[in-house]
Amino acid sequence: MVNIIDMGRVVEGDDTALDGTGVTSKKEEIAAKDLPEGTMMEITQPGTDKTYKLPALALAGGDYHRVIQASDGTIPEEDIKRYYDIVMKMDWQDGRIHFDNILHTKWIQEIWDKVDPKGVEVIDHYLNFNDSKGLSSNHSSKVDLDSWEGNEYTVIVYLTPNWTPDDAGSIEFWTPNLSDKMRAMAINTPYGFSGSEQPNIVKSYWPKSGRVVVFDARIPYIERAVEGDKMKISLVFKCRKLN
């Protein structure tokens, strides 16, 4: 099912483009509501003939670019060292270990139980490895986002003991206006077609040992290059919100 929304009309105050779509407009906020599973939205860029097809759930919620949280002390330092020793004995030469079975490993389940985000299910998880010698990449990653759905989140747990700011490898979260498609999805934020076109960093965190970072998967981000001799290890969980 595809519904077409002419955002030019909506931005100008004409809500008739939303009739029959299950989407409501209130104070310039568009919300997906009671839509059949798999419903797609086709959003027209104001002043152009360009359209962008997105899952209806991409419009869910409000200003999602602010949904970024970090916590320290969730995992004790002695546990971090134990997990690090386990990981360093694995075959990590390709820069990533992807687990086919969700939470099939005891120590990973331990970490997930400590993180304990409520109301979500794990749909994927893997280990990332980065160093300054070219493993995985000795350059910063490209700015990207993890999902075009509005009910998914990413959780990153940093597992390298004694990491310092001088070791670099920070993660940066950017405003969701880096492409026209992102702006089409960002209609509930200050960066949609009627909002700011200026890209900027929203938040940044360095990969402190044991730090847990949680963010809405629609937020664009970049991971900066590692410096020094340490191996940056991160355990990544991709999650979906339960109904």
Q: Is the pLDDT of residue 155 over 60?
A: yes
Q: In terms of domains, do 27 and 122 share one?
A: no
Q: 115: pLDDT confidence band, cut at 50, 70 and 90?
A: very high
Give all strands (DSSP E) within the chain, no chain letters: 2-6, 23-26, 29-32, 40-44, 51-55, 68-71, 96-98, 120-130, 152-158, 171-174, 201-205, 212-216, 221-223, 232-241
Say what the pLDDT of residue 61 is: 78
Q: In terms of domains, do 48 and 98 share one?
A: no
Task: State phi, psi for 180 to the nearest 5 degrees.
Answer: -65, -35
7-41 tens-digit pLDDT: 455 545 555 655 555 455 544 455 555 566 678 88
Cβ atoms 161, 241 nearer than 8 A = no
Percent of the chain, pLDDT > 70?
Answer: 78
CATH number at residue 141: 2.60.120.620
Say what the pLDDT of residue 40 is: 85
Q: In terms of domains, do 189 and 87 share one?
A: yes
Pairing of strands 40-44, 2-6: parallel
* Interatomic CA distance for residues 243 and 227, integer angstroms: 42
Q: In terms of domains, do 50 and 123 share one?
A: no
175-219 tens-digit pLDDT: 999 999 999 999 889 999 989 999 999 999 999 999 999 999 999
Q: In terms of domains, do 43 and 117 share one?
A: no
Residue partners of 141: CB distance under 8 A and separation at least 6: 222, 223
**Residue 157 DSSP SS3:** strand
Say what the pLDDT of residue 98 is: 75
Final residue before a domain boundary, out of 60, 87, 110: 60
- For the ranges 5-9, 40-44, 97-101, 173-177, which has the lowest average pLDDT? 5-9
Helix intervals (H) in the chain:
7-11, 77-88, 106-115, 180-185
Q: In terms of domains, do 167 and 94 share one?
A: yes
Q: Is the pLDDT of residue 52 over 50?
A: yes
Q: In terms of domains, do 81 and 109 share one?
A: yes
Q: In terms of domains, do 138 and 48 share one?
A: no
* 78 or 98: which leads in pLDDT: 78
Final residue before a domain boundary, out of 41, 60, 79: 60
Say how many domains are in the chain.
Answer: 2
Cβ atoms 56, 41 nearer than 8 A = yes
Q: In terms of domains, do 52 and 172 share one?
A: no
pTM of the model: 0.84
Looking at residue 88, the DSSP 8-state letter turns out to be H
CA 120 to chain centre: 14
Q: Which domain holds residue 132?
A: 65-241
Q: Is the pLDDT of residue 157 over 70?
A: yes
Residues linked to residue 215 through DSSP beta bridges, in sequence order: 68, 154
Q: Calculate the alpha carbon distances from 173 to 66, 68, 112 in Å.
A: 10, 8, 23
Q: In terms of domains, do 83 and 186 share one?
A: yes
Task: State phi, psi for 156 to the nearest 5 degrees.
Answer: -120, 130
Q: In terms of domains, do 197 and 122 share one?
A: yes
Final residue before a domain boundary, out of 16, 44, 60: 60
Q: In terms of domains, do 24 and 74 share one?
A: no
